[in-house]
């Protein structure tokens, strides 16, 4: 047992800028500056890299989701945006406020003010106007501006030409990215509340569990070959991140088992930075990464992937960022592993309690445990759920948080449906949700990233579920596909009506299988 002194590496060191909780006095002030910045970025010409839609399109072209570059890429994207806002407004102490959705389980009221909602007159009203304004510019970028490296990155996302990108924005089978002004945000001012599945995923209980993994890959999403591949999700990305996106973006899970409504909204897909709330959401995600990192340091655990994994992770190029001088230049994941040059810190919020305030006794590192399950039914089709059985290893520490690592296989051309994870549920269980002891979580995908092949999801198990798992001899974890629901109701409904997809696509979920279930103790 070592006694760790509380060094500056653990406590937040004093930074030049502070990102405030949007509900605080300072946070409200910052939201007003953000509104002024966004108004100015909307007035930039399309040729200008500071144009708001151009900045948002960088997210369409390059953002990683479902892999270990998710956190560093979004830190860079946010960090440069913050500097650009400072530059255009001249407000020297500006920093992006954060939305602590564990405490405020609705869209913060200030985000309905002009320029803080995409329903503000002055935003582009409809897709045709957007296309009219940007088609020439995007063509120009493809032919004159993009480097061969950038073109290669775009090709990995199937954006070989500007037309490919337009098709994916306008009306692909998995739902559009552009929404007309009346449908630009799903959660309206009259009812800004998160649905019960989203509020559960964003709750303090789930956030604290999501901060408990002791290695980066379990916490910060799975290893992948390239940042446009979707290979797997850590708990923070899959649950609060994806669900807040989808919910604010109008994909609302009404009540357990009831149809999901898709009210439209930029936040549900890859043009999401058009909705200014994107920046408050990702500020909170980035804050939680910082909390996790400081917790790891306090317990003398690694903050990054290890060994050759670390080298591969840090060397990944991000080629599309524009900095506050308007320059687009290659950057590398390594630059965003720490807050570093962006030099901000956070007003403490939910999760801060996992960082010890006084010296910690560091126990000898108990190796994370793993119990393999046996898949007994693998088809993720309609009808009976897929399931796996397992007996928890007797070596599992009695107090360690438990996670189910669920791997599903989605056939090529298929895309995300919604899957409910249940624990020891009777075979005829239907329509259950948060509050039911057998309900574990709801998997919902986000965006238009390429999704096929095996995808892992690290699912936190709440206290009573972990306890019942330790008490019972044999466990059953089941995965139920929600028909006609999911990431984009409109998308799935279209397919369920038998609409043919080009390119050999599959009906949502058809042929999807449960590959494995492992129980991790962290
Ligand atoms: Cu993103």
pLDDT-based confidence at residue 182 (cuts at 50, 70, 90):
very high
Give residue 85 CA to ligand 1 midpoint distance, Å: 19
Give residue 132 CA to ligand 1 midpoint distance, Å: 25
Length of the chain measured in residues: 522
Give residue 265 CA to ligand 1 midpoint distance, Å: 15
Convert 438-468 to b/e letters by CB count within 10 Å (16 or more is b): bbbbbbbbbbbbebeeebbbbbbbbeebbee
pLDDT of residue 427: 81
pLDDT-based confidence at residue 24 (cuts at 50, 70, 90):
very high
- Partner residues linked to 452 by β-bridges: none
Give residue 402 CA to ligand 1 midpoint distance, Å: 27
Which range (271-275, 402-406, 436-440, 506-510) has the least confidence? 506-510
pLDDT-based confidence at residue 414 (cuts at 50, 70, 90):
low
Is residue 405's pLDDT more than 50? yes
Give residue 221 CA to ligand 1 midpoint distance, Å: 13
Is residue 495's pLDDT more than 60? no
Give residue 81 CA to ligand 1 midpoint distance, Å: 14
pLDDT of residue 498: 27
Give residue 512 CA to ligand 1 midpoint distance, Å: 25
Residues with CB under 5 A from ligand 1 (ion): 63
Give residue 65 CA to ligand 1 midpoint distance, Å: 6
Q: Token pair of 160, please?
A: 């070989």
Compute the distance between CA of residue 104 and CA of residue 358 in angstroms, rounded to an integer.
29
Give residue 360 CA to ligand 1 midpoint distance, Å: 35
Average pLDDT over residues 453-468: 91
Q: Token pair of 382, please?
A: 């309609």
Is residue 511's pLDDT more than 90? no
Compute the distance between CA of residue 276 and CA of residue 163 in angstroms, rounded to an integer.
26
Distance set, CA 485 to CA 261, 420, 445, 490 (Å): 8, 11, 11, 9
Is residue 509's pLDDT more than 80? no
For 261, other C-beta atoms within 10 Å of its C-beta total 16
Give residue 270 CA to ligand 1 midpoint distance, Å: 7
pLDDT of residue 384: 75
Please, are residues 184 and 275 in contact by the beta-carbon 8 Å criterion?
A: yes
Please, are residues 168 and 483 in contact by the beta-carbon 8 Å criterion?
A: no
Is residue 489's pLDDT more than 70? no
Answering whether pTM is above 0.75, one says yes
pLDDT of residue 1: 37
pLDDT of residue 83: 98
Give residue 59 CA to ligand 1 midpoint distance, Å: 6
- What is the secondary structure of 161-199 as a DSSP string? SHHHHHHHHH--TT--S---GGGS-SS-TT--BPPHHHH
Give residue 66 CA to ligand 1 midpoint distance, Å: 10
- Partner residues linked to 17 by β-bridges: 344
Give residue 449 CA to ligand 1 midpoint distance, Å: 10
| Closest C-alpha among 150, 147, 137 to residue 53 | 137
pLDDT of residue 464: 86
Give residue 372 CA to ligand 1 midpoint distance, Å: 32
Give residue 273 CA to ligand 1 midpoint distance, Å: 8
Residue 375's H or E segment, with its range, is: strand 374-377
Helices (H), 429-487: 463-471
Give residue 174 CA to ligand 1 midpoint distance, Å: 17
Please, are residues 447 and 233 in contact by the beta-carbon 8 Å criterion?
A: no
pLDDT-based confidence at residue 256 (cuts at 50, 70, 90):
low
Q: Token pair of 182, please?
A: 């009346």
pLDDT-based confidence at residue 255 (cuts at 50, 70, 90):
low
Helices (H), 446-488: 463-471
Give residue 397 CA to ligand 1 midpoint distance, Å: 36
Compute the distance between CA of residue 30 and CA of residue 49 in angstroms, rounded to an integer.
23
pLDDT of residue 382: 64
499 against 200, higher pLDDT = 200
Q: What is the mean pLDDT of the chain?
A: 88
pLDDT of residue 422: 95
């Amino acid at each position: 047992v070592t006694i760790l002194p509380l060094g500056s590496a653990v406590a937040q060191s004093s930074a030049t800028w502070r990102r405030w909780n949007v509900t605080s006095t300072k946070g409200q002030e910052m939201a007003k500056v953000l509104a002024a910045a966004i108004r100015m970025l909307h007035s930039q010409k399309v040729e200008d890299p500071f144009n708001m839609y151009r900045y948002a399109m960088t997210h369409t072209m390059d953002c990683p989701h479902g892999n270990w570059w998710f956190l560093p890429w979004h830190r860079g994207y946010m960090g440069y945006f913050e500097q650009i806002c400072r530059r255009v407004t001249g407000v020297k102490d500006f920093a992006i406020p954060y939305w602590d959705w564990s405490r405020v389980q609705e869209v913060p009221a200030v985000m309905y003010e002009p320029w803080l909602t995409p329903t503000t007159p002055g935003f582009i009203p409809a897709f045709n106007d957007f296309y009219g304004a940007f088609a020439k510019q995007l063509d120009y970028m493809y032919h004159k501006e993009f480097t061969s490296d950038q073109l290669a990155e775009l090709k990995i996302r199937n954006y070989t030409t500007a037309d490919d990108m337009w098709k994916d924005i306008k009306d692909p089978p998995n739902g559009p990215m552009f929404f007309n002004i009346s449908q630009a945000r799903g959660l309206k001012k009259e009812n800004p509340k998160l649905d019960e599945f989203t509020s559960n995923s964003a709750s303090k209980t789930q956030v604290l569990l999501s901060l408990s993994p002791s290695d980066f890959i379990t916490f910060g999403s799975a290893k992948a070959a390239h940042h446009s591949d979707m290979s797997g999700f850590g708990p923070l990305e899959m649950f609060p991140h994806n669900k807040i996106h989808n919910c604010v973006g109008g994909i609302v899970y009404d009540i357990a088992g009831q149809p999901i409504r898709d009210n439209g909204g930029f936040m549900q897909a890859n043009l999401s930075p058009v909705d200014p709330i994107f920046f408050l959401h990702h500020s909170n995600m980035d804050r939680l990464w910082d909390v996790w990192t400081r917790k790891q340091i306090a317990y003398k655990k690694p903050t990054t992937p290890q060994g050759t994994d670390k080298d591969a992770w840090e060397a990944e190029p991000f080629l599309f960022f524009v900095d506050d001088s308007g320059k687009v230049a290659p950057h590398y994941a390594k630059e965003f592993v720490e807050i570093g040059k962006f030099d901000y810190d956070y007003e403490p919020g939910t999760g801060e309690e996992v960082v010890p305030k006084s010296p910690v006794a560091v126990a000898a590192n108990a190796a994370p445990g793993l119990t393999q399950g046996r898949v007994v039914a693998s088809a993720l089709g309609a009808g009976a759920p897929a399931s796996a059985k397992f007996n928890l290893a007797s070596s599992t520490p009695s107090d360690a948080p438990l996670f189910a690592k669920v791997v599903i296989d989605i056939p090529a051309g298929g895309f995300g449906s919604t899957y409910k994870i249940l624990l020891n549920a009777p075979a005829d269980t239907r329509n259950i949700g948060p509050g039911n002891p057998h309900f574990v979580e709801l998997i919902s995908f986000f965006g238009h990233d390429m999704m096929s092949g095996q995808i892992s999801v690290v699912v936190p198990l709440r206290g009573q579920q972990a306890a019942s798992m330790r008490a019972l001899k044999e466990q059953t974890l089941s995965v139920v596909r929600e028909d006609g629901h999911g990431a984009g109701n409109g998308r799935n409904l279209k397919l369920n009506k038998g609409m043919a997809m080009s390119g050999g696509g599959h009906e949502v979920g058809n042929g999807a299988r449960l590959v494995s279930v492992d129980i991790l103790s962290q």
